Amino acid sequence: MAFESIGHTRQRYLLNHFITAAVLALMVLLTACGNGSSGPTTTSGPSCPSTKSLTGAGSTFINPLFSKMFAEYPKAKCGANVNYQSIGSGAGINDLLKGIVDFGATDAPMSDTQLAQSTKGPIIHIPVTIGAVAISYNLSGVSDHLKLSGPIIASIFLGALKFWDDPQIKALNSGVNLPHQSITVVHRSDGSGTTGIFTQYLATVSPEWKSKVGAGTTVNWPTGVGGKGNAGVAAQVKSTAGAIGYNELAYVLSNNIQYAAVQNANGKAVLPSVDSAKTAAENISTIPPDLRFYFVNAPGDGSYPITGFTWAIVYQKQTNADKGWAVADMLWWVTHDGQQYAAPLNYVPLSGSIVSKDEAQIKSMTCGSGACYKG
């Protein structure tokens, strides 16, 4: 009997010990799962939106950067597949107004008239990158970068200055053997934010351009041939002897096209680059609350004068709460983690002050009664 009692006592001890150990192990496992990367499973709902596909359209200026960003974004936490169509800023604005896309992209801020066309409430502007508009050209026998001034570029695009060996061009390029070759102007044929930046610059530096042509995403070009998108202008310039055009810097570098140094507001001839565009952005004096503005012809010896933003444009009040959440998450990633891809592709990463303003814009997006961005 004594041995039997001792055996039962030991069995109960071992059983209780086993149960205690099992409970502790289960608690550790549940704690580990709660701290995992997928987030805790609680009654508060999922940690990521269920929307896994977004659509956008617009700017060709930013397409090389967006192509890289949106190839990487699905790998991020809560990342989604983004189908971005590089169709020009004007078309991107129209697609957003028609409700065809979840977001647009433009290098020219929307006008008051365009904003008034919205049937879904306010549209907000979120700067996503900064880039330089290079003056591209095709001139054989000239190895160095030509130097051009704003008034000379305006005269060329007005059709008043017709040959590459014009005395005005020769005066800025002493020692360069310029040929007596006709200049063929190449401009955008579609509504274009790149055109918006370029014509805003010309209107700033040339009173004649301002009075005769003005600035906008589309203008009545006095002369020249058209190309669709930045890619179309680049291809036209590259294939036409004597041509001159304007392109986002990434396009001239990737296509190995000649491009000019442009005199800035301080009278210095500056080549477009990440550094010179960054310097121009750093010399912005005032920024309006709605973030709609140009900063062409910025002061500073190192500033490249034809520089501008690309904005993402979205409805502030999102009608689909889950999709609005996904759009807000994507914009937060683009303006934060996505900025690491800017400089390698010859765009300027956003400054801390602009990122802070972007954060406020994104946090102002509403999905029903709450904020779209959940942190």
Whether pLDDT at 306 is above 80: yes
pLDDT (mean) for 138-158: 97
Distance of CA 170 to the CA centre of its chain: 36
Grouping H, G, I as helix, E, B as strand and the rest as coil, residue 130 is strand
Whether pLDDT at 13 is above 90: no
Report the pLDDT value the prediction gives residue 145, as an integer from 0 to 100: 97
Grouping H, G, I as helix, E, B as strand and the rest as coil, residue 276 is helix
What is 132-305's CATH number, 3.30.70.260, 3.40.190.10, 3.40.50.150, 3.90.550.10? 3.40.190.10
What pLDDT, in 10s, does the model give residues 240-270? 999 999 999 999 999 999 999 999 999 999 9
Query: Which residue blocks in 35-159 are alpha helix, DSSP H?
Result: 63-72, 89-97, 112-116, 150-158
Q: List, in order, residues 6 or more apart from 235 with CB less than 8 Å away.
A: 227, 255
Distance CA 223, CA 44 (A): 61
Report the pLDDT value the prediction gives residue 317, as an integer from 0 to 100: 98
Could you tell me the pLDDT band of residue 285, with boundaries at 50, 70 and 90? confident
Judge whether 294 and 264 are in contact, CB under 8 Å.
Answer: no
Q: Hey, what's the torsion of the CAs at 269, 272, 277, 279, to 10 degrees?
A: -30
Distance CA 375, CA 328 (A): 10
DSSP element (H, E) containing 308: strand 307-315
pTM higher than the cut 0.75: yes
Q: List, in order, residues 6 or more apart from 109 with CB less than 8 Å away.
A: 125, 291, 292, 293, 294, 311
53-130+308-371, superfamily in CATH?
Periplasmic binding protein-like II (3.40.190.10)
Hunting for tokens 């301080």 — which residue is that?
A: 266
Report the pLDDT value the prediction gives residue 38, as an integer from 0 to 100: 37
Judge whether 98 and 58 are in contact, CB under 8 Å.
Answer: no
Domains 53-130+308-371 and 132-305 share a fold: yes
Domain ranges in the chain? Answer: 53-130+308-371, 132-305
Grouping H, G, I as helix, E, B as strand and the rest as coil, residue 361 is helix
Distance CA 27, CA 33 (A): 10
Report the pLDDT value the prediction gives residue 14, as an integer from 0 to 100: 42
What pLDDT, in 10s, does the model give residues 79-109? 999 999 999 999 999 999 999 999 999 999 9
Report the pLDDT value the prediction gives residue 41, as an integer from 0 to 100: 34
Q: List, in order, residues 6 or more apart from 325 with CB less than 8 Å away.
A: 49, 51, 367, 372, 373, 374
